[in-house]
Amino acid sequence: MSRRYSLSIVQQKESVVGIGLGIFLLMLFSVGPTLLSFDPGATSLTIFSPPSGMHWLGTNDVGQDIFSRLLTGGRSSLIVALGVGIISTLLAVTLGSWAAMAGRWADKLIMRTVDILLVIPNIIIIILITSYFRPSLALEIIIISFLGWLEGARVVRMQILTLKERAHIYAAKLFGASQFYVFYRHLLPQLFPLMLFLLLQGMRRAVFIEAGLAFIGVVDPDVISWGSMISNALKFYYLEVWAWWLLPTVGMLSLSLLAVTLIGYGLEEQSSRSGGKKINAADS
């Protein structure tokens, strides 16, 4: 992607709002937990304490500081989002490009694998894997990444097949350029906007799935997560605690998803205005 294209993305209103919100959340979740005065896992006798100068969002049913757990849960979501976004994008680009460049048996093998994995419900795969292995944050990243590259690989394959038909690609091959050189020098730079979109889409999916898995309790119980906080808060919906326990957690989850969505929307609009193929979630 050229520098002009990068600057034009930043000029999109949606992207500006999304990037600003994303930077704020990134700083909050990365730096905030190191400045906390309360251990997010420490319990106390002051249960269901309302917000105060000492506990900004009050305490939960076992006396834990909700604000500390909110920021720590954000850090967990940030780690999962970045890990899944990077790994799933690399898998999609690598396998999708390999299928398009190699063709024949490699194309059939990769695409049939994608078709099979897309048919199987993700929740069944996740439950089977977590039942055989001890849940952890690393395992969670691996599982979500394993299930998150499939649609992206299809889009990358289609894009490579289209780009291969251009005249300068034929010219490079006529001059003896290898497959690797053609891909690295001519095709990969053209994939950068798509890779950025797949990264953002993977991060958005990871935040949502991570919260969902924690909500149903199939993740490491020692890892503080927004999903588990929401699940625990719903048990006490008949008390006033939901106002300072549930709403801030749902709000942070929504803001995180909104930030990534706005950046992706700005990228989609710029791709459409620049005359390229419009990228959208339905294609991937």
Helices 192-216 and 66-102: angle between axes, nearest 10 degrees: 130
DSSP summary character for residue 183:
I
121 Rama class: left (phi>0) / alpha (psi -120 to 50) / beta: beta
Residue 272's alpha-carbon distances to 134, 155, 267, in angstroms, are 45, 16, 9
Going by C-alpha positions, the residue among 5, 227, 184, 195 that lies closest to residue 85 is 195
Q: Output the pTM of the full model.
A: 0.86
Pick the residue with more confidence: 269 or 115? Answer: 115
pLDDT band, residue 2 (cuts 50/70/90): very low
Which own/partner contact pairs does 130-133 have at CB distance under 8 Å and 24+ positions apart? 130/218, 130/219
Contact in structure between 243 and 258 (CB atoms under 8 Å): no
- Residues 68-90 have a mean pLDDT of 95
pLDDT band, residue 3 (cuts 50/70/90): low
235 Rama class: left (phi>0) / alpha (psi -120 to 50) / beta: alpha
Pick the residue with more confidence: 281 or 107? Answer: 107
Hey, what domains does the chain have and what are their CATH numbers? 3-273 (1.10.3720.10)
pLDDT value of position 229:
94
DSSP summary character for residue 241:
T
Going by C-alpha positions, the residue among 183, 193, 174, 194 that lies closest to residue 100 is 183
pLDDT tens sequence across 152-168: 999 999 999 998 888 87
Q: Residue 4 pLDDT > 70, yes or no?
A: no
pLDDT tens sequence across 18-61: 889 999 999 999 888 888 888 898 898 889 999 998 889 999 99
pLDDT value of position 272:
58
- Residues 54-81 have a mean pLDDT of 93
pLDDT value of position 220:
87
pLDDT tens sequence across 220-268: 888 999 999 999 999 888 888 888 999 999 999 999 999 998 888 877 7
Hey, what amino acid is at 53?
A: G
Q: Please state, rounded to an integer, the average pLDDT across all residues of the chain.
A: 86
